[in-house]
Every structure is written in structure tokens, then in C-alpha cells.
């Protein structure tokens, strides 16, 4: 899977760290004003890894997932490297995994939004 390059232009999704709230903002706004807060009081965190790294949000879920994926991939590739085999760069593989998970979560949200609501059973 080829990951699209990160672009500063346009709106970027920010998710609430404690509830299901979200907001959209530009990179310039985030750099000048900082990270906004949700109505519940928790801060919004970037949805994309590149934006989180750009803003220095090291506690964002995407950054934590990326670091875990890097460790897992490096552990899995250790025996191959020891045998002298050529392997892909750990950071590239981890970035693809994080991006794939982000896209799957976005697809699940979109499908959940259009799914019919369950009707209550009459008694």
C-alpha cells in the first residue's frame, strides 16, 4: 500500500482524546493558536501521524500506535537481518500500518453513520 504524502494545505481532522468529538483545522491555525479543546474539556489530538509529529503531539494515539508498530516490526525483522536478508525500512512499514488502520477506522465511521438505526421492540 502506497501512503499518500502529507500536505500542509487544507483541513485536517482532530479527534477528542476522551469522547467521540472531532474538529477540523488548518496547519497554520494549529501552529499559531495551538491545539483546541473539546466541549468536554479534553484536548483534541491529530488524526494523522505526520501532523502529530509536526505539532509535537507525542501523546497522540497515532504516535503511540506508530511507536508500537515500529517495535513490533523491528522484532519481527531481527532474525531476517541476522541472516543477512534485505528487509524494508521499519518506519515505512509502520507508517503503512498506521495509515491503513486510520483509513479502516474512517471507513467504519462512515458506514456506521449511514447504517439504519435499530428499532426498539414493542412490548
- Among candidates 18, 68, 67, which has minimal Cα distance to 45? 18
pLDDT, tens digit (0-9, with 9 covering 90-100), for 42-54: 889 998 899 999 9
pLDDT score of 35 more than 90: no
Which pLDDT band, with edges at 50, 70 and 90, does 1 fall under? Answer: low
- Name beta bridge partners: 14: 23, 46
3-class SS of residue 8: coil
User: Is the CB of residue 48 less than 8 Å from the CB of residue 24?
Assistant: no
> CA quadruple 25, 26, 27, 32: dihedral positive or negative?
negative
pLDDT at residue 98, rounded to an integer:
92
pLDDT, tens digit (0-9, with 9 covering 90-100), for 59-115: 889 999 999 999 999 999 999 989 999 999 999 999 999 999 989 998 998 998 898
pLDDT at residue 14, rounded to an integer:
92
Phi, psi of 18 (to 5 degrees): -125, -25
Amino acid at each position: 500500500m502506497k501512503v499518500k504524502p502529507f500536505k500542509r494545505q487544507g483541513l485536517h481532522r482532530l479527534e477528542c482524546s476522551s469522547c467521540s468529538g472531532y474538529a477540523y483545522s488548518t496547519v497554520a491555525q494549529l501552529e499559531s493558536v495551538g491545539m483546541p479543546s473539546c466541549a468536554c474539556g479534553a484536548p483534541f489530538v491529530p488524526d494523522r501521524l505526520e501532523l502529530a509529529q509536526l505539532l509535537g503531539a507525542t501523546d497522540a494515539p497515532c504516535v503511540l500506535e506508530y511507536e508500537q508498530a515500529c517495535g513490533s516490526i523491528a522484532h519481527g525483522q531481527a532474525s531476517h537481518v541476522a541472516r543477512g536478508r534485505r528487509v524494508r525500512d521499519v518506519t515505512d512499514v509502520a507508517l503503512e500500518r498506521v495509515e491503513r488502520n486510520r483509513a479502516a477506522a474512517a471507513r467504519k465511521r462512515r458506514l456506521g453513520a449511514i447504517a439504519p438505526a435499530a428499532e426498539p421492540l414493542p412490548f
